[in-house]
Structure 1
Amino acid sequence: MASWSRPAPAGPQTRVARVASRVSTIELLFDLVFVFTMSRVAEIVVHRPDAAGVAQGALVLALVWWMYDAFAWLTNQAAPDSTGYRIALIGAMAAFLVMSLAIPDAFGSTGVLFGVSYIVVAVIHAALFIALGGAAAGRRMIVVGTSNVLVGVLLVVSGFVEGPLDWVLFTVPLLLFLASALLSARGGFDPGASHMVERHGLLMIIAFGESIVSVGVGATEHEIGASLLVGTVLAVALVSALWWCYFDGDDTRAEARMNAVAPARRTGVALLAFYLEHLAMIFGLLLLAAGLHGLFVDPFAPLEPADAWLIGGGVALYLAGDAAYRGTLDLGPVATRLVAAPLAAATAWVGIAVAGAWQPAALLAVVVAVLVVENARRSPALPRRSDAPA
């Protein structure tokens, strides 16, 4: 019979055993829904590539990412090793999928469905955390979980209104998230470093994958020719360079840095690094994916301004978020990435004034230059993965 009860009060050894050390296969299955979620958020921006569309996409992603990340924290605190736990995660996965179906018109006709599915996800998460996450975390989750359900209620109400009030009802939850984060940072959680870093690295792989899928989808809609092949290769090379920025040893160093953070500060650091700064990186990749949809109409013709700014702005946001993440965990130099971010945004003029294919080429040059400079200046105290002790 599956066990749903709260773990008995225990000492440090039992507490360590309850925290997941590595990502489980059911978590990988759970995260596959995030692939679909990203594509649905990208649809908002693709169909409305203006400031309002980008803002809608940002709000929706921030709301959904809060709960996705909440489940990463749940499985960090209690490994999904019982039948009942796994069934509940599958139920939450189904609710997330329904929520994703409602995303493109969450500000309109599917707003109620979006809000109801959000409530279901929040209830499942809170119930599991209170039952399995430990006494201190469970007490915090009573308040945080109630706040998350209230967010869902606000989203349901937004489904019945239109205009400025709709925007208010989608923005107020961000204040509730801030209050929840400040409460959580006071203690009650003790995130396990290896699981936290690995799980978010896998979610970043999904975000990179969405960009690659956008390249493929955009390319298949047009006749194969030399210009299409050049544009495809350049786009894939750019996404690969951005992947390199994240996985060039930062994942190994992040685990060590998280382990070195004092327990009293670890929750606050994890919220900043893995919710907020990863949100910025993921949204940057999503904007890039949305902009790449327009690249393949004619890679050697000037881009539509909206697509060019999505591509340049997406890479700029990714680099800025990555620099902030590096700074929070002291993973390495951040100045080069902060300098590269506005340069990346400025490449929009290349795509608009010259040709679409030249913009990913210019962005690739910027990102490669960052990697070359940083590797040349790498400190011996920050080893590569291959240099790390076994």
Structure 2
Amino acid sequence: MSTPGPPAAGAPAAGPAPAARHAGWIELFFDLVFVAFVAQLAHGLHGDPGARDFAVLLALYFPAWWMWANITVAANLFADDGPRRRLAMLFAMLFLAAMAAAVPEADGDRGAAYALGYAGTRLVLLALWWPATRATERRPVPRRRPLAYCLGFAVLWTASAAAPASWRLAVWAVLVAAEMALLLSSRGAGIPRPVHTGHLVERVGLFVIIVLGESVLSVVTATDATWTAEAGAVAVLGFVLLAALWWSYFDFATTAAELVIGRSRMRDAYVLARDVAGFLHYFVTFGIIALAAGLGTAVEDAGHEHLPQGALWALGGGLALYHAAHAAIALRFGRPPRRIAVWAVPGIGVPLLIALAGRALAPWLVVLLLAAEAVGHLVYAERRARSGWAASLR
């Protein structure tokens, strides 16, 4: 429900808007590997996950998500559908598929495959960015940037495959932190072309559809495995919850992003897109992944007296994380904190209270309360929009 206000007084006007673009067929094919990756993560949170399960899967999700964001930005800046780019994207799919297959044991026996898969994606990213270093480019990218950011980290991740299994997660955390420090220190320097806002918003929206789709699939397969009236009732309530999230996201979050990023100057637009589409949507999407796992468990355990505590945290914590990420996006867009608090405080607090008190509630009641929160969130946003709250955005 994050929606921005009008630009601040004296803010620089945006440059000419680039021509409209949509996702290409290779990008849509590329996204299919993330269907598998998201399914692996959701499977790891199914049942009664503990705190370590949440932490490990959250950590394993970031490199894959970050590579998706990097490749999406490269496709956004360089509208090329030639054989070289297609081959690069196909190789990226293979490397990411290896990472997805390694997820269940990535902190153990399959850690080397996970690390080498991510190293391979860095080489793909280098191939996508290297043509932008040519002197014939209007704003050529200095070669040291892709060499350090892509090749340098490919070498380091390859080396991490040889680290003892007990050390790998710590080594990967250091490498991710170093990569983020390098990226943040650049502040958008070296970006050769304007960001195509519509294309970027569409690509992120398509990824949100992927994780929502995993949630629907989890509900359907759990209902198939537990063919009872109780399971059917929980499945219907789960679908209402997911439908409310879809409705509010694509009515408000996407509109806000197009308006605010589209109004910004080239470098400002890139940094804003990086923060919102890259960093903050990592939490938006993981929240839905956790919710997918929790809904599957809730359907399967519909006949029980209560849900396992891990499933309650997947449900309530996932929805709370989703709302918290949108509150952070709204702040990044410049919305006043007091206006955000009106919907963010109940949006975060109510699911957390349900997670804490859920052991005393039947599974159907847990899902009903979460669905009611999501529907109430949507109704509030729609009423605010109809009252003219969004008029200043146009």
TM over 0.5, shorter chain: yes
Q: Is the 8 A contact 1:96 1:121 kept in 2?
A: yes
Matched, 1:45 2:50: no
Instruction: Compare 136-145 and 366-375 and name the one that shifted more.
Output: 136-145
Q: Match of 2:210, as an amino acid?
A: I
C-alpha distance in 2 between matches for 1:268 and 1:30 = 24
Corresponding residue to 2:379 among 355, 358, 372: 372
Instruction: Compare 246-255 and 106-115 and name the one that shifted more.
Output: 246-255
How many pairs were matched up?
A: 368
The offset of 1:174, in angstroms, is 2.6
C-alpha distance in 2 between matches for 1:239 and 1:147 = 41
Question: What's the counterpart of residue 180 of structure 2?
Answer: 178
Cα separation, partners in 2 of 1:151 and 1:233, compared to 1, 3 Å: farther
Once the two structures are superposed, what CA deviation does each residue of 1:243-288 show, in whole Å capped at 9, x if it has no partner?
1221113313311211111223222211110111100011111111
Q: Match of 1:179, as an amino acid?
A: A
Q: 3-state SS of the aligned residue for 1:248?
A: helix
Q: Is the 8 A contact 1:122 1:149 kept in 2?
A: yes
Q: Is the 8 A contact 2:327 2:344 kept in 1?
A: yes
Matches within 5 A, 1:300-319: 300=303, 301-319=305-323
Corresponding residue to 2:370 among 363, 376, 379: 363
C-alpha distance in 1 between matches for 2:244 and 2:267 = 36
C-alpha distance in 2 between matches for 1:37 and 1:326 = 28
* Percent identity of paired positions between Structure 1 and Structure 2: 27
Q: Match of 2:95, as an amino acid?
A: A
Question: What's the counterpart of residue 158 of structure 2?
Answer: 153
Question: What's the counterpart of residue 278 of structure 2?
Answer: 275
Q: Is the 8 A contact 1:126 1:145 kept in 2?
A: yes
C-alpha distance in 2 between matches for 1:383 and 1:28 = 34
Corresponding residue to 1:252 among 251, 255, 262: 255
Question: What's the counterpart of residue 289 of structure 2?
Answer: 286
C-alpha distance in 1 between matches for 2:202 and 2:375 = 25
C-alpha distance in 2 between matches for 1:47 and 1:137 = 48
The offset of 1:345, in angstroms, is 1.5
Matched, 1:334 2:336: no
Scaled by the length of structure 1, the TM-score of the pair is 0.87
Cα separation, partners in 2 of 1:308 and 1:191, compared to 1, 3 Å: same
Once the two structures are superposed, what CA deviation does each residue of 1:361-389 show, in whole Å capped at 9, x if it has no partner?
101111222222222223636259xx97x
Q: Is the 8 A contact 1:337 1:370 kept in 2?
A: no
C-alpha distance in 2 between matches for 1:150 and 1:237 = 46
Q: Match of 2:340, as an amino acid?
A: V
- Unpaired segments ≥5 residues, structure 2: 1-14
Q: Match of 2:377, as an amino acid?
A: V
Matches within 5 A, 1:165-204: 165-189=167-191, 190-204=194-208
C-alpha distance in 2 between matches for 1:154 and 1:235 = 44
Question: What's the counterpart of residue 5 of structure 1?
Answer: none
C-alpha distance in 2 between matches for 1:91 and 1:357 = 44
The offset of 1:124, in angstroms, is 1.1
Question: What's the counterpart of residue 6 of structure 1?
Answer: none
C-alpha distance in 1 between matches for 2:64 and 2:186 = 19
Cα separation, partners in 2 of 1:382 and 1:212, compared to 1, 3 Å: same
Once the two structures are superposed, what CA deviation does each residue of 1:100-149 show, in whole Å capped at 9, x if it has no partner?
11111111111111111111111011122122475544643232213431
Question: What's the counterpart of residue 31 of structure 1?
Answer: 31
Question: What's the counterpart of residue 146 of structure 2?
Answer: 141
> What do you get for the CA RMSD once the two structures are aligned?
2.5
Q: Match of 1:180, as an amino acid?
A: L
Q: Match of 1:252, as an amino acid?
A: T
Cα separation, partners in 2 of 1:127 and 1:226, compared to 1, 3 Å: same
Instruction: Compare 33-42 and 247-256 and name the one that shifted more.
Output: 247-256
Cα separation, partners in 2 of 1:47 and 1:103, compared to 1, 3 Å: farther
Q: 3-state SS of the aligned residue for 1:294?
A: helix
Question: What's the counterpart of residue 214 of structure 2?
Answer: 210
The offset of 1:46, in angstroms, is 2.9
Q: Is the 8 A contact 1:277 1:324 kept in 2?
A: yes
Once the two structures are superposed, what CA deviation does each residue of 1:129-181 show, in whole Å capped at 9, x if it has no partner?
122475544643232213431452354134xx133x23311311231232132
Instruction: Compare 258-267 and 177-186 and name the one that shifted more.
Output: 177-186
Scaled by the length of structure 2, the TM-score of the pair is 0.86
Question: What's the counterpart of residue 7 of structure 1?
Answer: none
Q: Match of 1:382, as an amino acid?
A: A
C-alpha distance in 2 between matches for 1:34 and 1:74 = 18
Q: Match of 2:21, as an amino acid?
A: S
The offset of 1:330, in angstroms, is 4.7
Question: What's the counterpart of residue 83 of structure 1?
Answer: 83
C-alpha distance in 2 between matches for 1:315 and 1:356 = 16
Question: What's the counterpart of residue 8 of structure 1?
Answer: none
Q: Is the 8 A contact 2:48 2:308 kept in 1?
A: no
Highest RCO, 1 vs 2 (Cα 8 Å, sep ≥ 6): 2
C-alpha distance in 2 between matches for 1:349 and 1:66 = 31
